Amino acid sequence: MRGTRAILAGVPLAAALLAVLAVAVTGLSQRSALPPALEPYAYGFFLDRYPLFAFALVYGLARILAAAAMPGPASPARRVVFAGLGLVLLLAAALHPTFGGLVLRGGFMAGGSAFLTGQPIGLAYAIGAAVAALVFGLAIGLPSWLGRAQVRRAGFWRRARGLAATATLSFLALWLAAALIGLGRDLGIGPWPRRTFTPEEALRAALVLLVAGLPHTLVIAFRSVGPAPAGRDRLPLGMPLPAR
């Protein structure tokens, strides 16, 4: 099961990197013909300023699906329901009303407000990245946890501490990822999506995404998994405990 968890933990990062490859190979850009329903999301300030967030969104969607497939006693129906809710929540947070959604708008507003109150540009940028990471992390983490969480009578505080540690490490990893993704233009990924990626720009974009996404992938892959209590000590979430 640990091996399966490690493999599934790496799938979202692989999906984001494959998305970069697909965009580079197909020459997808704003000059490409797009369905009318997708055109509003192919333009705008946030896509032009933070283009790598498009691939971060692929990472987030794949992360929700991978979490639903993780080994565990949760029923298939429960996994499907909460995975579906997670996908809808993330898409809404990232694309409503247009590209960037609440994730990038929240981060941009927080960072801009901090800068306007006299904070150094570096600190303001870090604050904006933290807000974006928090919104993104809640959108992918909360539905994933609800889809697999259990109520157990034994070891509650130990599991609570483990959950808090994992959540903290995940947030810090996403904070770093948000900061790096926001610097994509400065790191030489080129003007995509105004034009197609060149091979060098696609490689740079893939490297930025790899460095940005690897810490969170490692947190998910190697977080501690305690032994599952047997029998009456483990009950699905929401099921009342039997009277003794």
Q: How many helices (H) and strands (E) does the chain have?
A: 8, 2
Q: Is the pLDDT of residue 238 over 90?
A: no
- Residue 146: which domain range? 2-30+41-224
Please compute, for residue 181, the number of CA atoms within 13 A of its CA located in the half-sphere on the CB side. Answer: 33
Residue 62 belongs to some domain of the structure:
yes
Distance CA(242)–CA(244), nearest Å, equals 6
- Phi, psi (deg, nearest 5) at residue 115: -65, -40
Q: Is the pLDDT of residue 47 over 90?
A: yes
Distance CA(147)–CA(78), nearest Å, equals 6
Q: How much is the pLDDT for 231?
A: 43
Residue 232 belongs to some domain of the structure:
no
Residue 74 belongs to some domain of the structure:
yes
Q: How much is the pLDDT for 152?
A: 67
Residue 241 belongs to some domain of the structure:
no
* Residue range 33-38: mean pLDDT, rounded: 88
Q: Domain total for the chain?
A: 1
Four-point Cα dihedral 162, 165, 166, 172, nearest 10:
180
* Residue range 52-65: mean pLDDT, rounded: 98
Q: How much is the pLDDT for 151?
A: 64
Residues 6+ apart with CB under 8 A from 84: none
Residue 84 belongs to some domain of the structure:
yes
Q: pLDDT tens across 133-190, in order?
A: 999 999 999 999 888 877 666 666 777 888 899 999 999 999 999 999 999 999 999 9
Residue 162 belongs to some domain of the structure:
yes
Residue 134 belongs to some domain of the structure:
yes
How does the average pLDDT of the chain come out, rounded?
Answer: 89
Higher pLDDT, 244 or 197: 197
* Residue range 75-89: mean pLDDT, rounded: 95
Q: How much is the pLDDT for 235?
A: 46
Q: Of 164, 151, 158, 118, give the one whose Cα is nearest residue 242.
A: 151
Q: How much is the pLDDT for 18?
A: 98
Distance CA(6)–CA(165), nearest Å, equals 18
Confidence of residue 76 (pLDDT cuts 50, 70, 90): very high
Q: Is the pLDDT of residue 224 over 50?
A: no
Residue 36 belongs to some domain of the structure:
no
Note whether 159 and 28 are within 8 A (CB): no
Proportion of the chain above pLDDT 90, given as a percent? 73
Q: How much is the pLDDT for 2?
A: 67
Q: How much is the pLDDT for 6?
A: 83
Confidence of residue 1 (pLDDT cuts 50, 70, 90): low
pTM for this prediction: 0.88
Q: pLDDT tens across 4-31, in order?
A: 888 999 999 999 999 999 999 999 999 9
The single-letter DSSP state of residue 147 is T
